[in-house]
C-alpha cells in the first residue's frame, strides 16, 4: 500500500490547491514553488508511488492529461517551450511519493539549465546496453 502524501490530501480537498484541470482519472494543479510561472503538476486519481509502481493504464491517463494541458499552458503564459519531468525515488529527485508529472513552461534564456552529461569510457556503453537488454528479456 502507498503511504499517505500531501497530494492525497490535495486530491481529497483537505488542503487547498490551485486546480488547473480535473477529469475522471487525473487532477492537475499549480506547483507551489514554480520553476517558471504556470508550472503544473499532473497526478492520477488512482494513487501510486511513482512510475516504477504505476500500472499501464494509470500512467497512460497521466500522460494523456500532460499532452492535453501542455499546449494550453504554453499559450496561456506565453512560453517558448515546455519541459516535462517525472522524478522517481529520492535519488531521482522525488520529494513527494505520489506519482506526478511536472509541466514546466520554458522561456528562451530563462537560465533553467539541464544538468550536464558525461561521455562513456571505452566499452562502457556496450556493457551498459547489455545489462539493459538482458533486463528487457525478464
Ligand atoms: P518532486 O521533487 O518531483 O517530488 O516534486 C514535488 C513538487 O511538489 C515540488 O515541485 C513542490 O514544489 C511541489 N509541492 C509540494 N507541496 C505542494 C503543494 N502543497 N501544492 C503544490 N505543489 C506542491
Per-residue pLDDT of the chain (138 residues), as tens digits, is 457 999 999 999 999 999 999 999 999 999 999 999 999 999 999 999 999 999 999 999 999 999 999 999 999 999 999 999 999 999 999 999 999 999 999 999 999 988 899 999 999 999 999 999 999 998
**Residue 12 burial (CB count, 10 A):** 8
Q: How far is the CA of 43 from the centre of ligand 1 (A)?
A: 11
| Domain regions of the chain by residue span | 6-137
- Whether the pTM exceeds 0.75: the reply is yes
Decide whether any atom of ligand 1 lies within 6 Å of the 132 Cβ: no
**In sequence order, what are the residues at sequence separation of 6 or more whose Cβ sits closer than 8 angstroms to the Cβ of residue 62?**
26, 42, 43, 44, 54, 99, 101
Pocket test for ligand 1, best of 94, 95, 101 (most atoms within 8 A of CB): 95
Decide whether any atom of ligand 1 lies within 6 Å of the 129 Cβ: no
> In the chain, what is the straight-line distance between the N-terminal and C-terminal CA atoms, in Å?
25
**What pLDDT is stored for residue 131 in this prediction?**
97
Atom of ligand 1 nearest to the CA of 85: 3
**In sequence order, what are the residues at sequence separation of 6 or more whose Cβ sits closer than 8 angstroms to the Cβ of residue 66?**
42, 84, 101, 103
Decide whether any atom of ligand 1 lies within 6 Å of the 96 Cβ: yes
**What pLDDT is stored for residue 24 in this prediction?**
98
Whole-angstrom distance, CA of residue 35 vs CA of residue 102:
10
Q: How far is the CA of 33 from the centre of ligand 1 (A)?
A: 7
C-alpha cell at 76: 496561456
Decide whether any atom of ligand 1 lies within 6 Å of the 64 Cβ: no
Decide whether any atom of ligand 1 lies within 6 Å of the 20 Cβ: no
CATH code of 6-137, in short, is 3.30.428.10
Amino acid at each position: 500500500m502507498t503511504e499517505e502524501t500531501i497530494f492525497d490530501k490535495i486530491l481529497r480537498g483537505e488542503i487547498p490547491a490551485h486546480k488547473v484541470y480535473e477529469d475522471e482519472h487525473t487532477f492537475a494543479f499549480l506547483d507551489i514553488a514554480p520553476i517558471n510561472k504556470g508550472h503544473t503538476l499532473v497526478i492520477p486519481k488512482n494513487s501510486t508511488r511513482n512510475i516504477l509502481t504505476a500500472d499501464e493504464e494509470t500512467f497512460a491517463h497521466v500522460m494523456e492529461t500532460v499532452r492535453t494541458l501542455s499546449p494550453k499552458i504554453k499559450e496561456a503564459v506565453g512560453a517558448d517551450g515546455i519541459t516535462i519531468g517525472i522524478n522517481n525515488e529520492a535519488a531521482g529527485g522525488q520529494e513527494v511519493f505520489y506519482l506526478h508529472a511536472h509541466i514546466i513552461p520554458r522561456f528562451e534564456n530563462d537560465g533553467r539549465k539541464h544538468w550536464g552529461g558525461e561521455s562513456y569510457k571505452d566499452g562502457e556503453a556496450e556493457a551498459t546496453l547489455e545489462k539493459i537488454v538482458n533486463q528487457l528479456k525478464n
